[in-house]
Structure 1
């Protein structure tokens, strides 16, 4: 499930398993614990068209022919890697489908802030002028 926006059914996900690198001793050579989880964003029937457009635009760098693939191999067990990949997919889709932030309304500096800035510049100039030196006029 991706928040309250939509639910990705398991039928739309495809998983591939392979041998993982990293910790695991002798077992690392025999168990297929690495998981590649693929989700066809472009061909999905559960994502509303408006959200699909937004997701495709935001994840364009990660997609290959409209398919998002996530690999997980940080755990020694296949089940934990499956959970990690699904969790990562959900958070990625949730972030990509979030509405854009509100536009910033431009404001002007307040009168007080202008006065404080000018007073600080004046103090700084006085400090520099008070240092003296051989090039002082």
Structure 2
């Protein structure tokens, strides 16, 4: 059992791993050893995920979701199979935790009160009056 959140746990058989050859660091070793991990998780068919979390996860997955609703994550940044497995699983758990957060409530529209509008206009009129009394200095005196 893989614990994602206190409410959500995944069965081990829901996550499939396949090891493939990786590009990147490793020299000649990279051509001989399959260190990269392709992790697959069936979002649509998972009995562990609530429906709303699965829908949000499919939106979060973007291009990583296949047409069948399978999330595919590839990890090949590390040189060892173990670290790539841990990296792929951590990324999956982060995505599920992000999808488990409920969306924020919609914003309530508010209006500026009439008193606030009146204060604003009064201050503008007052400032305009100050500026209007300014003028060129005349030499009549």
TM-score by length of 2: 0.72
1:48 to 42, 47, 50: 50
1:23 to 25, 28, 50: 25
> Which moved further from structure 2: 41-50 or 15-24?
41-50
Residue pair 1:32, 1:78 contacting (<8 A) in 2 also: yes
Q: Distance in 1 between matches of 2:35 and 2:118?
A: 62
Q: Distance in 1 between matches of 2:40 and 2:121?
A: 55
Structure 1 counterpart SS, 2:9: coil
Deviation per CA, 1:47-81, whole angstroms, max 9, x where unpaired? 12343344335546431111001000111111000
The match for 1:79 is: 82
Determine which structure has more spread, i.e. the larger CA radius of gyration. Answer: 2
Count of residue pairs brought into register by the alignment:
127
Q: Distance in 1 between matches of 2:53 and 2:78?
A: 32
Structure 2 counterpart SS, 1:71: strand
Q: Distance in 1 between matches of 2:104 and 2:78?
A: 35
Unaligned runs of 5+ in 1: 128-137
